[in-house]
Amino acid sequence: MSYLSTLTPASAEIFLLVMACVILIVDLFVVNQQKTPTYLLVQFTLMGLAFITLMTHQQGAVHLFHNMFVSDLMSDVLKMVSYLTVSIILVYSRSYLLTRGLFTGEFMVLTLFTLLGMMVMISASHFISMYMGLEVMSLSLYALVALQRDSATATEAAMKYFILGALASGLLLYGMSMLYGATGTLDVAGVSTAIKHGVANPALLVFGLVFVVAGLAFKLGAVPFHMWVPDVYQGAPTPMVMLIGSAPKFAAFAFLMRMLVDGLQPLMGHWSNMLIILAVLSMALGNISAIAQTNIKRMLAYSSIAHIGFFLLGILSGGIDGYSSAMFYIMVYVLMSLGAFGMITLLSHEGYEADTLDAFKGLNQRSPWLAFIMLLLMFSMAGVPPTAGFYAKFSVLESIVNTGHIELAVFAVLLSLVGAYYYLRIVKLMYFDAPESHEPIRIQPDTGLLISLNGLSVLALGMLPSWLMSVCAVSVQQSLLLR
Amino acid sequence: MIFGFPLLSVAIWLPIFFGILVLATGNDRNAPLARILALAGAVLGFLVTLPLYAGFDKSTSAMQFIEFRDWIPHFNIHYHLGIDGISVLFILLNSFFTPLVVLAGWKVIEKRVAQYMAAFLIMSGIVNGVFAALDAMLFYVFWEAMLIPMFLIIGVWGGANRVYAAVKFFLYTLLGSLLMLIAFIYLYRESRGSFAILDYHALAIGMNAQIMIFIAFFMAFAVKVPMFPVHTWLPDAHVEAPTGGSVILAAIMLKVGAYGFLRFSMPIAPDASHELAWVIITLSLIAVVYIGLVALMQSDMKKLVAYSSISHMGFVTLGFFIFNAYGIEGGLLQMISHGFVSGALFLGIGVMYDRVHSRQIADYGGVAHKMPVFAAFFVLFAMANSGLPGTSGFVGEFMVIMGAIQVNFWYALLAASTLIFGAAYTLWMVKRVFFGAVTNEHVAHLTDITLREKLIFAVLAVCVLGMGLYPLPFAEMMHQSVTDLIVHVGHSKL
């Protein structure tokens, strides 16, 4: 009994694993074509997860399983937003997938396993558990992309995603093994101590670091490791793209924090220089390539590359300010990209994919409210106040200027000017052009409500961003202090 | 605040609230309701700003009607509002123009009426926010937020080439303001965590940093003014915008940039301002002379007035950067006068465009025969535009020339050339459009202005003549603030 009670900090993960297996079995007996019971069970599971995480939250950091697993404020906050993100994705994707016959038990169970992988990543404080979480997440995502198996583009996307993802995992694992060789431990805290005491071979360490950073850059989709991003975004079904582009970013943020900040802080001089290159290239290539796109999913893919560049600026500027600005940035980015992809699923209907820019033509005449929501999302992505995207950019710029890299800040704002152009083009299409079809847009009440909330929350966060900034700052601060 | 009533907040949020209300009326079936609501909001918005004038203490340059609340404690950003003698007049000018713009679009705008009216109301609130903000981030948020409604106004209701103009307008202004953002973040760091504009005024900054800050601000404000050579967005935006959009652009938006020079560039970087004053003066004189000549060659009436605006704004920036009371007060008076005059001219061109659907000078001729009342008004505004004594246009120009001659005779001489060029391009246009024989069918079928239009023009005519004959009420509002600003800018921060 006493052993079981030590497992409490991991009870959310355990609950999710059990529920995912239960749902897999229950789904066999659901005859309903709409899969409503399974769907409700999944949403109930997510609510239960949120409840458990809230209930089991403890002050300070709790380590479990021989330091493999850590539960602190940052991990709990990131898990809570991940639950929320997955829940939102399920609502958005339901009717889209139903009309395409993809709303199956497998979809939902795989989504839950993706979430499980992310949760393990978020709480991992050991190379083994980090890698394990990453693989659980990635393998589920590969399968999700390939779910639409009669679609050639989706299969191609899945292939690309799988091969390049496996390559990235290999790179990461290789780098980890180097670090292990240099320090003799797989524990993040142990690695940090070993480096500080100077027992590790510096050349080997930096060699390992290069591979780790490259592997992470692959997963994040930062230039020059971004090649898979546009193809996967374009080819995969929209709900899967929504999933790939959102919640895993939280897990990746936690991974970066634990690996680079907790473990390899003494090498910050090295990795921050690498991140500068990644950030500058990502912002430049992402923003410039996005201009040339005619497919909105592809455009959003390049936009995500550009946003990752901005996010890396926050990480590399370091300190509580830098990390919390990156955390805030990624939360706001996920909120915006959920809305943008949600809008694509909303405008799509049976036999029609709203994934070209032309699908947004004259939206203001077909549905002024949806056009207004999209307008908010696009201006937020461009970073125009009074939307949340502005404060995300602002807090990153503030931390980068504080570290003295004014030239990086100038470069970043000039490229976000380039970025403003293609977001503006969507607004232009919606408001200035005539619609191609006058077909009324049919929206389910739940998705309609959700997209409204999603868009308005971008505006509300733009008016009152303070509380979320404080949440990020406090959780980063605690996780750094308790190291 | 008067009796604890947050007047500035009301001036900002009341029009925005009405804007949302108007949007809620939905599609064009409810257009009459949208129009009436919009007019009510605009008139109320103007009325609530009147106590700002009545309750203003002219004897001090300190900020008045201050409101101060926490907004984003994480970055020490406050909801901090207040006005001094420089900003109060622009809030009044802006709120004064909103009902006129609503009235001007009353009949003409037929598609998406609610969105059109709402855009102007929201715009009006945001602009009041720009002039009232005393926190740099609050200022920045309002400053950028201005772009969104203006972008939609030009793009949705504009002319043939509207998309190009709207995108050009947006990107040009965004470029300038992003660099300003970095300057703010730098100042935040240097002031150890403050975004209060008044703290920046007192902050000691080295010369190199001052120059960088000055350049960043210059990029933001010069684009908005607009100064030569970053003025090219203005003729496009003006020509393609609907009448109301042109009026707000000319009467209000251009003033925001010039206001920025007085509120930010000069007091925050005084040494750099003196050091680089020659650049601004040169660019201003180029604007006055060269753009004046360009205006002479225009065949499109709106473009002509747009270029004339750039030329007149050159006068304003010239006045600011000669650093004496005549110059700065003259510049400010010129800004207000230019608001009335250019607004009136654009409304007048709008009246003709609504009837003939052409802005080309060549499509008109002898309009005075068919529209005598309208012609009388238009000629008055044209005279004011060319700076005739007795009209508002004369006061500011005369003061700036007086100020310039104290500094350098040649500045004054070149600046004074505007009195010739201005008269030339304006009166030549009037001659070709209004006088002579009736040239074509369209003009022959013109009908004179309606009561609604007469009302708009009469109000503006009273302003133009009133300010020309008795400018003291305007000048005394700003006098103390300008005097103290000059003293402040005279002290080196090094």
ipTM: 0.87
pLDDT in tens, B283-319: 999 988 898 889 888 888 888 988 988 888 888 899 8
pLDDT in tens, B75-103: 888 898 888 888 888 998 899 888 888 88
B321 vs B333: CA distance, rounded Å: 15
CB contact under 8 A, A397 and B182: yes
Question: From the list B144, B162, B188, which residue is nearest A384 (CB)?
Answer: B144
Q: Chain-wide mean pLDDT for chain B?
A: 86
Mean pLDDT of B276-287: 90
Q: At what angle do helices A202-220 and A152-183 cross, to 10 degrees?
A: 160
Centre a 10 Å sphere on the Cβ of residue A445 and count the other Cβ atoms it contains.
7
CA distance B268 to chain A (A): 19
3 state SS of A377: helix
What is the model's pLDDT at position B1?
46
Q: Which two tokens stand for residue A316?
A: 């590399």
Chain A partners of B75 at a C-beta cutoff of 8 Å? 395, 398, 469
Q: Where are the beta strands (DSSP E) in B54-179?
A: 64-72, 77-83
pTM, full prediction? 0.90
- Domain holding B337, by residue range, is 277-494
**Structural domain tally of chain B?**
1
B175 vs B166: CA distance, rounded Å: 14
Question: From the list A379, A413, A432, which residue is nearest B148 (CB)?
Answer: A379
A90 vs A103: CA distance, rounded Å: 10
Residue B462 lies in a domain: yes
Residues 6+ apart with CB under 8 A from B425: B292, B295, B296, B298, B304, B307, B308
Question: From the list B72, B112, B181, which residue is nearest A465 (CB)?
Answer: B72
CA B486 to mean position of chain CA atoms = 23
Whether the per-residue pLDDT at A425 is higher than 60: the answer is yes
What is the model's pLDDT at position A444?
82
Residue B189 lies in a domain: no
Whether the per-residue pLDDT at A95 is higher than 60: the answer is yes
A106 touches chain B (CB under 8 A): no
CA distance A392 to chain B (A): 13
DSSP state of A151: -
Interface test with A, best of B25, B28, B30, B75 (most A CBs within 10 A): B75
CB contact under 8 A, A417 and B144: no
What is the model's pLDDT at position A335?
93
Interface test with A, best of B141, B164, B215 (most A CBs within 10 A): B141
Torsion of CA B213, B214, B220, B224, to 10 degrees: 160
Torsion of CA A331, A332, A333, A337, to 10 degrees: 110
Radius of gyration of chain B (CA): 22
What is the model's pLDDT at position B200?
87
Q: Which residues of B touch A (CB under 8 A)?
A: 26-27, 71-75, 112, 115, 137, 140-141, 144-145, 147-148, 151-152, 155-156, 162-163, 166-167, 170-171, 174-175, 178-179, 181-182, 185-186, 188-189
The secondary element (H helix, E strand) that includes residue A64 is: strand A62-64
Percent of chain B with pLDDT over 70: 99
A260 vs B239: CA distance, rounded Å: 55
pLDDT in tens, B217-251: 998 898 888 888 888 888 888 888 888 888 888 88
CB contact under 8 A, B156 and A469: no
Q: How confident is the model at residue B352 (pLDDT cuts 50, 70, 90)?
A: confident
Burial bucket for residue B459 (CB in 10 Å: 0-12, 13-18, 19+): middle
Whether the per-residue pLDDT at A3 is higher than 80: the answer is no
Residue B378 lies in a domain: yes
Torsion of CA A170, A171, A175, A177, to 10 degrees: 20
CB contact under 8 A, A384 and B174: yes
Whether the per-residue pLDDT at A454 is higher than 60: the answer is yes
Burial bucket for residue A196 (CB in 10 Å: 0-12, 13-18, 19+): exposed
Mean pLDDT of A417-426: 88
Chain A stretch 27-46, residues whose beta carbon is closer than 8 A to a beta carbon of chain B: none
Mean pLDDT of A207-214: 91
Q: Chain-wide mean pLDDT for chain A?
A: 88
List residues bridging with B5 in a β-sheet: B2
3 state SS of B83: strand
CB contact under 8 A, B75 and A421: no
Chain B partners of A391 at a C-beta cutoff of 8 Å? 72
Residue of B nearest to A376 (CA): B148
Q: DSSP labels for A341-364?
A: HHHHHHH-BTTB---BGGGGTTHH
What is the model's pLDDT at position B102?
87
pLDDT in tens, A36-55: 888 889 999 999 999 988 88
Residue of A nearest to B24 (CA): A369
Residue of A nearest to B178 (CA): A413
Chain B partners of A468 at a C-beta cutoff of 8 Å? none
Q: Which two tokens stand for residue A341?
A: 């992809």
Helix, strand, coil percentages (3-state) for chain A, rounded to 5, are: 80, 5, 20
**Contact between residue B336 and residue B457 where contact means Cβ atoms under 8 Å apart:** no
**Conformational region of residue A413, where left means phi above 0, alpha means psi within -120 to 50, and beta covers everything else:** alpha
CB contact under 8 A, B140 and A395: no
Q: How confident is the model at residue A483 (pLDDT cuts 50, 70, 90)?
A: low
Q: Which two tokens stand for residue B334?
A: 């010129």
Residue B226 lies in a domain: no
What is the model's pLDDT at position A481?
65
pLDDT in tens, A138-189: 999 999 988 888 888 888 889 999 999 999 999 999 999 998 988 888 888 8
CA distances from B367 to A107, B291, B348, B373, B435 (A): 72, 27, 12, 11, 7
List residues bridging with B196 in a β-sheet: B135
pLDDT in tens, B389-448: 888 888 888 888 888 888 888 888 888 888 888 888 898 888 888 888 887 888 788 888
Chain A partners of B156 at a C-beta cutoff of 8 Å? 364, 431-432
Residue B93 lies in a domain: no
CB contact under 8 A, A401 and B147: no
What is the model's pLDDT at position A445?
85
Torsion of CA B465, B467, B470, B476, to 10 degrees: 170
Q: Are strands B77-83 and A62-64 parallel, antiparallel or unpaired?
A: unpaired
Interface test with B, best of A283, A417, A467, A471 (most B CBs within 10 A): A417
Chain A stretch 383-422, residues whose beta carbon is closer than 8 A to a beta carbon of chain B: 384-386, 390-391, 394-395, 397-398, 401-402, 406, 409-410, 413-414, 416-417, 420-421
Question: From the list A379, A384, A413, which residue is nearest B179 (CB)?
Answer: A413
A451 vs A342: CA distance, rounded Å: 7
**Contact between residue B254 and residue B277 where contact means Cβ atoms under 8 Å apart:** no
What is the model's pLDDT at position A198?
80
A346 touches chain B (CB under 8 A): no
Residue A397 half-sphere exposure, CB side, CA atoms within 13 Å? 27
DSSP state of B64: E
CA distance B85 to chain A (A): 28
Question: From the list B74, B115, B147, which residue is nearest A469 (CB)?
Answer: B74
Residue B337 lies in a domain: yes
Residue B470 lies in a domain: yes
What is the model's pLDDT at position B129?
92
Residue B431 lies in a domain: yes
